[in-house]
């Protein structure tokens, strides 16, 4: 885990700014409390992020190179993409080298660890640049023990129909709504962007598979004692052929009391695969029936991502989801988290009461 | 992957010989084609394995130390346990050091890599001893791509109600029965003992969780071209709070055509957890419904482990399982794999035909 130190970021997205793989950049632009002094993307140089991606509500100049970003006094270069397989895009290499030569800290959430790259290391030795490979987990993670079943907090986990449907954003919005409502809620980061935003957490998809439930458990055990709610960022999807294992490890390991079901309206197939996404009720049953023999938890809210819809369509989709599932539904990024948080809190409180009477599992 | 070179093993189980964590020793004693020249276990020194564990059908002297084993001319010391968390039991340390000093190869399936232990390394530098840390995966495993959906082999995967119910043994017995019946079947090892026995494979629970499906896919893609059946060793259980993620990664990544459902009669709770094992039909549905949206596969046989039952009870349990599930059932370790293999092959052939008409998933 890393403590959050204030940074002034230049984010490199060269060629990816509007691509779904730039979700690290998008998440940081939307949620980080650090400064973002510039974005490097040649195709949009001269524009502002606010013009190109108005939904993110952040202004930052777009430039073509590290050199052009230096006058904005960045402390850190952030690799703004999460490519499949976590490989550094080749066109990013020159920017990373320029940033190293300028002595900037290099922050990356890729599987490919930049600190292991001989050329980067050699150049960094000259300039004093440092690396924060956010994805690297702590060296010693214990096996899942069952201790997560007995944490004092109410644990809510985001689960979803696919990768990149907004599970992280949902939990951050709910956490902010909770705090605004005077509730002590902590966001629990499980992915690289979440860890960059919150300054702590474990990127669970990087953990050795035998220990992925254990890592999720450690995260839940590490929530600060004065928090009453732990809002755990979800990963992948139980439906995803490549990432389902990570999803299940998090589902079992974080031992949630309640689930928030996330889905992007209009998405019909799982990312990169010809796997049909079933309807919300079927998806809900999949998760609930997996947890039923182990530690039962119910879906208590539906969080829709309506970015492909206009506002009237979005409100209609939310109403339809609510009708179909008989659960409270909303798009918390678009319309704010207050309403859904109230519903999650109410359900979570009910569940927590029920849990007090349940037989705890013994490790 | 490692090629199998003939070895003469001394297996250390000191204090664990009859313990379930000695499953590495038990699996090797039952199935390896290498020599086992001695077993080190102080409590049984002077006896023979055949007396202490007659069910394994292997004779080997039990001694108290490496020194007493050396006259049998071992080439390798095998750490015969798979402890929770994969840590070397403290009392094994002296035996490992003695074996290193004697210049033996040290073979271990533990998570704790013996090649990373400074004392072991220093001593090995003097004696020339080498380490085979079987659990260490290849350095470069790609993400799951969907290529496994198009392998020419019929893929059968063992799934089970718990860890250590006999999934590996079932697939080895079926593979031997297949070969005896003239069928070209390959056993695909996914765990440390399986890899030691077959000389190739990947220990999937050691793979970074994002790549566990990808590792399973690589194993299936690596089956020799002239094999018609790939019989994949299962791992963990979808019901297991700590290991379910590995199980799901293997389930999705190996892309099975058929499943063989494994269960130990009399086992009611999942290892170390108060999780009730549901009945065979419920367990079957759990697996089939997870695979249904992705690449459907059916359970086509039930493999029971009846080691806690006498022969009459075992035959009754098998008949009951067959009646309850309407699937062929047997204990292939106790009664041989011929009958169940015939059933699996028939069902697999049916499935393979059906698959030829199915829409392949696109990566």
CB-CB under 8 Å, A208 with B208: yes
Q: What is the pLDDT of residues B229-253, one digit of tens each?
A: 999 999 999 999 999 999 999 999 9
Average pLDDT, chain A: 94
B111 contacts chain A (CB < 8 A): yes
Q: Are residues B340 and B234 in the same domain?
A: yes
B166 contacts chain A (CB < 8 A): no
Q: How many domains does chain B have?
A: 2
| Tokens representing residue B44 in the block | 């049984």
Selecting from B208, B239, B274 the residue whose C-beta is nearest the C-beta of A209 gives B208
The pLDDT value recorded for residue B350 is: 82
The mean pLDDT of A304-332, rounded to a whole number, is: 98
Q: Are residues B124 and B178 in the same domain?
A: no
Whether residue A189 lies inside any domain: the answer is yes
Q: Which residue of B has its CA nearest to A248?
A: B245
CB-CB under 8 Å, A142 with B246: no
Residue B147 CB burial class (10 angstroms; 0-12, 13-18, ≥19): middle
Q: Are residues A60 and A162 in the same domain?
A: no
Q: Are residues A193 and A341 in the same domain?
A: yes
The pLDDT value recorded for residue B85 is: 83
Tally of CA atoms within 13 A in the half-sphere of B208 that contains its CB = 21
CB-CB under 8 Å, A244 with B244: no
Q: Which residues contact A62 (CB under 8 A, 6 or more apart)?
A: A17, A38, A39, A40, A41, A44, A45, A46, A47, A48, A49, A52
- Among the residue ranges A46-50, A212-216, A301-305, B2-6, the one predicted with the least confidence is B2-6
Selecting from B86, B144, B209 the residue whose C-beta is nearest the C-beta of A204 gives B209
CB-CB under 8 Å, A294 with B241: yes
Whether residue B336 lies inside any domain: the answer is yes
Whether residue A32 lies inside any domain: the answer is yes
The mean pLDDT of A297-315, rounded to a whole number, is: 97
Q: Are residues A228 and A306 in the same domain?
A: yes
CA separation, residue A216 to residues A168, B173, B218, B284 (Å): 15, 37, 27, 27
The mean pLDDT of B305-329, rounded to a whole number, is: 98
CA separation, residue A353 to residues A33, A182, A254, B95, B337 (Å): 35, 20, 19, 52, 51
- How far apart CA A312 and CA A334 sit, in angstroms, is 12
Q: Which domain holds residue A49?
A: 8-133
pLDDT at residue A360 is higher than 70: no
Q: What is the pLDDT of residues A260-281, one digit of tens each?
A: 999 999 999 998 899 999 999 9
B159 contacts chain A (CB < 8 A): no
CB-CB under 8 Å, B243 with A245: no
Of B101, B133, B165, the residue that ends a domain is B133
B143 contacts chain A (CB < 8 A): yes
pLDDT at residue B169 is higher than 70: yes
A256 contacts chain B (CB < 8 A): no
**Confidence grade of residue B2 (pLDDT, cut at 50, 70, 90):** very low
The mean pLDDT of A226-238, rounded to a whole number, is: 97
Of A84, A103, A133, the residue that ends a domain is A133
CATH number of the domain that residue A210 is part of: 3.40.50.300
Q: Are residues B97 and B201 in the same domain?
A: no
The pLDDT value recorded for residue B351 is: 77
Whether residue A249 lies inside any domain: the answer is yes
pLDDT at residue B360 is higher than 50: no
**Residue A39 parent element (H or E):** strand A35-40
pLDDT at residue A235 is higher than 90: yes
**Confidence grade of residue A1 (pLDDT, cut at 50, 70, 90):** very low
A294 contacts chain B (CB < 8 A): yes
- How far apart CA B79 and CA B21 sit, in angstroms, is 11
Q: Which residue has the higher pLDDT, A265 or B164?
A: A265
Sheet holding A258-264, edge to edge: A185-188, A229-232, A154-160, A258-264, A298-305, A329-330
Whether residue B105 lies inside any domain: the answer is yes
CATH number of the domain that residue A74 is part of: 3.40.50.720
CB-CB under 8 Å, A210 with B206: yes
The pLDDT value recorded for residue B1 is: 40
Q: What is the pLDDT of residues B27-77, one digit of tens each?
A: 999 999 999 999 999 999 999 999 999 999 999 999 999 999 999 999 999
Chains A & B: contacts with CB separation below 8 Å: 144
User: Which chain B positions have a beta carbon within 8 Å of A207's beta carbon?
Assistant: 208-209
Selecting from B144, B212, B241 the residue whose C-beta is nearest the C-beta of A209 gives B212
Whether residue B229 lies inside any domain: the answer is yes
Q: What is the pLDDT of residues A69-126, one digit of tens each?
A: 999 999 999 999 998 889 999 999 999 999 999 999 999 999 999 999 999 999 999 9
Q: Which residue has the higher pLDDT, B92 or B361?
A: B92
Q: What's the whole-model pTM score?
A: 0.93
The pLDDT value recorded for residue A284 is: 97
Average pLDDT, chain B: 94
| Tokens representing residue B70 in the block | 């050396």
**Confidence grade of residue A2 (pLDDT, cut at 50, 70, 90):** very low
Selecting from B85, B204, B246 the residue whose C-beta is nearest the C-beta of A142 gives B85
Q: Are residues A113 and A250 in the same domain?
A: no
CB-CB under 8 Å, A205 with B209: yes
Q: A62: closest CA among A33, A27, A53, A81?
A: A53
Q: Are residues B117 and B229 in the same domain?
A: no
CA separation, residue A237 to residues A100, A289, A350 (Å): 36, 15, 26
User: Which chain B positions have a beta carbon within 8 Å of A272's beta carbon?
Assistant: 363
B273 contacts chain A (CB < 8 A): yes
């Amino acid at each position: 885990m890393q403590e959050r130190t204030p940074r002034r970021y230049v984010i490199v997205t060269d060629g990816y700014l509007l691509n779904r793989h730039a979700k690290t950049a998008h998440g940081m632009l939307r949620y980080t409390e650090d400064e973002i002094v510039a974005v490097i993307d040649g195709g949009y140089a001269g524009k502002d992020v606010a013009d190109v991606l108005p939904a993110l509500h952040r202004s930052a100049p777009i430039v073509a190179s590290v050199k052009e970003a230096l006058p904005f006094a960045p402390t850190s270069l952030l690799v703004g993409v999460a490519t499949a397989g976590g490989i550094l895009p080749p066109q990013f290499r020159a920017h990373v080298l320029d940033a190293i030569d300028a002595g900037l800290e290099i922050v990356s959430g890729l599987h490919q660890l930049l600190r292991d790259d001989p050329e980067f290391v050699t150049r960094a030795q000259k300039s004093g640049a440092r690396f924060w490979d956010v994805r690297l987990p702590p060296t010693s993670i214990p096996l899942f023990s069952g201790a997560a079943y007995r944490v004092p907090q109410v644990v809510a986990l985001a689960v979803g129909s696919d990768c990149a449907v907004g599970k992280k954003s949902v939990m951050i919005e709910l956490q902010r709504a909770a705090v605004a409502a005077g509730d002590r809620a902590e966001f629990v980061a499980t992915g690289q962007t979440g860890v960059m935003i919150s300054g702590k957490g474990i990127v669970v998809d990087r953990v050795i598979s035998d220990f992925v439930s254990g890592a999720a458990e450690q995260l839940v055990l590490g929530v600060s004692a004065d928090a009453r709610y732990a809002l755990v960022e979800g990963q992948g999807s139980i439906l995803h052929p490549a990432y389902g294992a990570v999803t299940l490890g998090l589902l079992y390991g974080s031992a949630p009391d309640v689930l928030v079901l996330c889905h992007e309206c209009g998405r019909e197939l799982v990312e990169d695969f010809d796997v049909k996404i079933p309807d919300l009720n079927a998806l809900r049953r999949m998760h609930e029936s997996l947890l039923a023999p182990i530690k039962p938890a119910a879906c208590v809210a539906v969080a829709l991502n309506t970015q492909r819809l206009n506002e009237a369509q979005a409100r209609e989709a939310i109403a339809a989801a609510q009708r179909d599932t008989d659960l409270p539904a909303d798009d918390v990024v678009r319309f704010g988290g207050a309403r859904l948080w109230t519903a999650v809190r109410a359900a979570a409180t009910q569940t927590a009461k029920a849990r007090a009477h349940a037989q705890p599992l013994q490790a």
